[in-house]
């Protein structure tokens, strides 16, 4: 049976402890999920006209956010309605990605909505 003195035991355990600490500090995540506002808005034409096209085809459909059905009592048919719900749109469609159900937004749609909201929801 071998006996280690304290110095040898400390040396033998130092490298594995360092490796474990370094490995625990590293991670790989999708940046767009952690930082959803990373769209390059200098390359995105973030106008309400473009946003309205997304809302019309993905949100204002039957059974969702139109006057006839207004899921969650939220209607997204006009500029004022979209502007009033900008924070909710950002949370549900961009951050959580739970809207629209069944037909997720494209990366282009997400960038456009992000830039429009981040620029103050202009009516242009």
Nearest to 90 by CA among 119, 66, 113, 122: 113
pTM listed for this prediction: 0.68
Structure tokens at 87: 């924070």
Q: Domain limits of the chain?
A: 33-118
Alpha carbons 116 and 27: distance in angstroms, whole number: 31
Q: How many CB atoms lie within 10 A of CB 120?
A: 9
- Which residues of the chain fall below pLDDT 50? none
Residue 52, pLDDT score: 96
Residue 22, pLDDT score: 62
Residue 4, pLDDT score: 54
């Amino acid at each position: 049976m071998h006996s280690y003195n304290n110095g040898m035991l400390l040396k033998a355990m130092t490298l594995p402890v360092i490796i474990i600490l370094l490995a625990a500090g590293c991670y790989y995540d999708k940046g767009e999920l952690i930082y959803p506002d990373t769209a390059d808005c200098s390359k995105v034409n973030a106008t309400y006209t473009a946003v309205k096209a997304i809302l019309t085809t993905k949100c204002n459909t039957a059974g969702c956010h139109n006057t006839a059905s207004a899921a969650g009592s939220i209607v997204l048919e006009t500029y004022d309605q979209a502007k009033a719900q900008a924070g909710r749109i950002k949370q549900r469609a961009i951050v959580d990605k739970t809207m629209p159900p069944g037909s997720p937004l494209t990366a282009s749609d997400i960038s456009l909505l992000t830039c429009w909201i981040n620029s103050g929801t202009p009516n242009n």
